[in-house]
Structure 1
Amino acid sequence: MWLYRLILTLFALPALLMRRVALALAGRKEPRGLTERLALAPPRPEGPTIWLHAASNGELASARATVIAILDRHPSATLVVTTNTTTGRALAESWHLPRLIAVLAPVDTPFATRRFLDALRPAALIVVENELWPVRLTLAAARAIPVFVLGARMSAKSHRNWSRLPGLSRRVMGAITWLSAQDQDSARRFLDLGLPQPRLGPVLNLKAAFVPQAGAPILPWARATSLLAASTHPGEEEVILAAFAAARAANPALRLVLAPRHPRRSAEIARLIQGAGLPFATRSLDQVPQDATPVYLADTMGEMDLWYAGAGMTFVAGSLTGRGGHTPYEPAAHGSAILHGPDVANFAPAYAALHAAGAAVRVETAQDLAAAILRLADAEAQAAMAARAREALSAADPATLAPFFAALDATLAERTPDVHPARA
């Protein structure tokens, strides 16, 4: 543990400074970035505080229902949400939830983490999925702050890496109060690394617990002929635009909502759409697509539910360029037929269940995607596939959040905002 702390302390600040310089040279800004990452001006909420950390957009979006439930169940508490990325922070802020403060997570060094904990004095730390930062967890445990980990995944490769540092892994696992794994294999690996058996909760996949956000439809297009390209990455937009243009040549009624994973790429993607010869409107410019507008560039945060609700077909991105694919649970919950590329490693069990039920279409090329769009541009076909998807994903992961809330509520009931553990 001391070696880990030394390495982080020696290299974290130079790395952050280099990142800031690199962003400036690239013409990108990270507002409040260095200040928040070094916890130089951390939030100081009044009253009881709960700290929830998620890596970025995907993890945070999957935890949205959990966030709302925590605020509802604990009306006197402030929830401080931290992420590793500015887009994740922007997503949390876009929810406009009362008693929620969003900031970038402090770098995992003793000085930054201590300052953050001193300011927050959290009653609990909730970690979403795989964010097991050793300094953060062990310092929280040293202050008797309960640590909850939701939907954690431990791959065989990660398990091998942790196993090479048995002392560190035991300390980190010992700091965890309650953990739910995404699957049984992950659960066994956490136990092998030193997680005490009584602290292991039932298998839980937060993305399977996704609850669609209600909202008034804003797209003027027929849902059956509308395609959403959800959370696209560099190298994917070109394929999607080529496929859409080819499909639209055969079916002019087709429409596309292109929602990039990182809205800061809006100008780059706008040039790609122009290069494809497709008229478009841009959400961030408050432009509203007309009935005849073929493409809508949805370059904002926190509005994905609107696009799922308005699209009868969803191409789940992150699956064409080696990023492991994004969640199929959200389009399935909205009744949108699912298409995806070959790389779905991040959600392999879910996609396996979908394909076993005939509830998703895999494509590898622009030609494949164009053909699939044309086949699925039918309300009845979409509804049938979406129904199979909901059933397949429900059967694949029936766990609920009830065990987590029971554990959290019981722990918080034992603590009062007037009693704070000593500084670690």
Structure 2
Amino acid sequence: MIYRSLTQIAGVGARLLAPVAGENFRARLGLGLPALPAGGIWLHGASVGEIASAATLIAGLRERHEVFVTANTPTGWDTALALGVRAGLAPLDTPQAVAAFLDRLKPRLAITIENELWPNRSAALARRGVPQVVLGARLSQRSAQRWARLDGLIRPMLGRLKAVSVQDYASEARLLALGLPHAALLPRANLKLMAPAQTMPLPPGPERALTVLAASTHAGEEALILDAVTALRARGVPLRLIVAPRHPQRFDEVTALMAARGLPPARRSAGAGPKAPVLLADSMGEMPQWYAAAGICLTGGSLVEKGGHTPWEPAAQSCAILHGPHVANFAGDYATLDGAGAAVPVTTATLADVLGRLLGQPQLQTSLGAKARAILIESAGDPSQLIEMIDTFATG
């Protein structure tokens, strides 16, 4: 009652500002939607990351249904438009804005990506008999503790959900403890991994087996990697090296660093490709090509304290994944891969030896890459299965 009363008052004030407000603010009030066919699917994600993660799902749903996508931010809106769907900004969670939006859209099904739960939106959809589904749900321990103090808000929202697909066991347990019905659980899925999981990797071969990719490196890492490569070459170990710095402004700096180590690179910007003995990947948007060319990938940001970068893009190409100790950004993912023998942690002291062992054992490379890809596919979930389930909710 307190939340509804406060948002009711806020909604009145917002409506008073509507005549002089800009287009985006009016859109957040549920005003100015384009002409839309009734009975479609409303899919909502907070911003760019959530919308992008749902791209595979959106593409599948569009083959069967009208889909209208909303985000909370203009950049998320633009991301949705780039996917070729009708899109707009989501209404604020005031009773007036939600009602105006739903009066115009008249959806048959509402899908939320990850963890965007709003009390007025939830209640309004329930009153109109619109099934609510959450896909790729996740809930941190901190967020669960906050929601536990607001039981009167979270428990009714979770109780209204028709179906929920959760990213991981921990989030599932937290949501169940807060009131999510067991009957609402769908098979676990991680939408952000669905697109990488659809990648068809190039087959292993002698050229890939000799190619090492240092992906998305940061200042301080290239020197460590180049020292290891120099040591291996001094031992007579044949290898190709691709260095792909994270930030374009460092391309010239890294070129000079490589030359000073006796490894002057060919540069992608000058037309060189992955068959160069030493390549600086000083281009944008071509990382999939470098993952596909390499049998071994060291994920950057992990030898220095930058938190590490995703292991799933190299896993999509069945690369043998190496990483340093600094992987806080993807701690759970790397723990899963390491525990399954699908990735190899290294330190500055062990990097050269681990690289030498993998370069000398192509079968081990292939085994590591296959394990990583299998975990990726399992973690992503089956998009076709999700789409079939959603189809029953939308048509049932």
**TM-score, with structure 1 as normaliser:** 0.67
User: 3-state SS of the aligned residue for 2:219?
Assistant: helix
TM-aligned CA distance change 1:397 to 1:272, over 3 Å:
closer
Task: Confirm or deny: 8 A CA contact 1:180 1:201 kept in the other structure.
Answer: yes
The answer to whether residue 114 in structure 2 is matched with residue 125 in structure 1 is: no
Task: Confirm or deny: 8 A CA contact 1:151 1:205 kept in the other structure.
Answer: yes
Specify the alignment match of 2:176 in structure 1.
191
TM-aligned CA distance change 1:175 to 1:364, over 3 Å:
farther
How large is the RMSD of aligned CA atoms in angstroms? 4.5
- Alignment counterpart, residue 138 of structure 2, candidates 144, 153, 162: 153
- What are the Cα deviations for residues 244-282 of structure 1, in whole angstroms up to 9, with x where unaligned? 554565668311334x6xxxxxxxx32222233457978
Separation in structure 1 between the aligned mates of residue 165 and residue 282 of structure 2, nearest angstrom: 37
Specify the alignment match of 2:69 in structure 1.
81
- The one-letter amino acid of 1:407's match is M
Specify the alignment match of 1:65 in structure 2.
56
Separation in structure 2 between the aligned mates of residue 89 and residue 244 of structure 1, nearest angstrom: 40
TM-aligned CA distance change 1:356 to 1:317, over 3 Å:
same
Specify the alignment match of 2:341 in structure 1.
358
Task: Confirm or deny: 8 A CA contact 1:319 1:340 kept in the other structure.
Answer: yes
The Cα shift of 1:79 comes to: 2.4
- Alignment counterpart, residue 227 of structure 1, candidates 201, 213, 228: 213
Task: Confirm or deny: 8 A CA contact 2:255 2:280 kept in the other structure.
Answer: no
Which protein shows a greater Rg?
2
- What are the Cα deviations for residues 74-120 of structure 1, in whole angstroms up to 9, with x where unaligned? 1xx332333456665555555x55xx235554554445544443443
Task: Confirm or deny: 8 A CA contact 2:209 2:365 kept in the other structure.
Answer: no
The Cα shift of 1:164 comes to: 0.5
Task: Confirm or deny: 8 A CA contact 1:182 1:204 kept in the other structure.
Answer: yes
Specify the alignment match of 1:255 in structure 2.
242
The answer to whether residue 287 in structure 2 is matched with residue 309 in structure 1 is: no
Task: Confirm or deny: 8 A CA contact 2:299 2:323 kept in the other structure.
Answer: yes
Task: Confirm or deny: 8 A CA contact 2:317 2:373 kept in the other structure.
Answer: no
User: 3-state SS of the aligned residue for 1:130?
Assistant: coil
- The one-letter amino acid of 2:157's match is V
Separation in structure 2 between the aligned mates of residue 402 and residue 352 of structure 1, nearest angstrom: 28
User: 3-state SS of the aligned residue for 1:257?
Assistant: strand
Task: Confirm or deny: 8 A CA contact 1:201 1:403 kept in the other structure.
Answer: no
- Alignment counterpart, residue 270 of structure 1, candidates 241, 248, 253: 248
- What are the Cα deviations for residues 345-365 of structure 1, in whole angstroms up to 9, with x where unaligned? 675554333212322133566
Specify the alignment match of 2:126 in structure 1.
141
TM-aligned CA distance change 1:318 to 1:408, over 3 Å:
farther
User: 3-state SS of the aligned residue for 1:167?
Assistant: helix
The Cα shift of 1:207 comes to: 4.7
Matches for 1:93-104 after TM superposition, within 5 Å: 93-94=81-82, 96-97=83-84, 100-103=85-88
The Cα shift of 1:229 comes to: 2.7
- Alignment counterpart, residue 405 of structure 1, candidates 382, 387, 393: 387
Separation in structure 2 between the aligned mates of residue 45 and residue 107 of structure 1, nearest angstrom: 20
**TM-score, with structure 2 as normaliser:** 0.71
The Cα shift of 1:176 comes to: 1.6
The answer for unaligned runs of 5 or more in structure 1 is 15-31, 231-235, 261-268, 415-424
- The one-letter amino acid of 2:366's match is A
Separation in structure 2 between the aligned mates of residue 59 and residue 212 of structure 1, nearest angstrom: 18
Once the two structures are overlaid, the 10-residue window that deviates more, 137-146 or 104-113, is 104-113
- What are the Cα deviations for residues 356-406 of structure 1, in whole angstroms up to 9, with x where unaligned? 2322133566x7767766765675553231012234556x65954566434
Specify the alignment match of 2:44 in structure 1.
53
TM-aligned CA distance change 1:181 to 1:254, over 3 Å:
same
Specify the alignment match of 1:212 in structure 2.
198
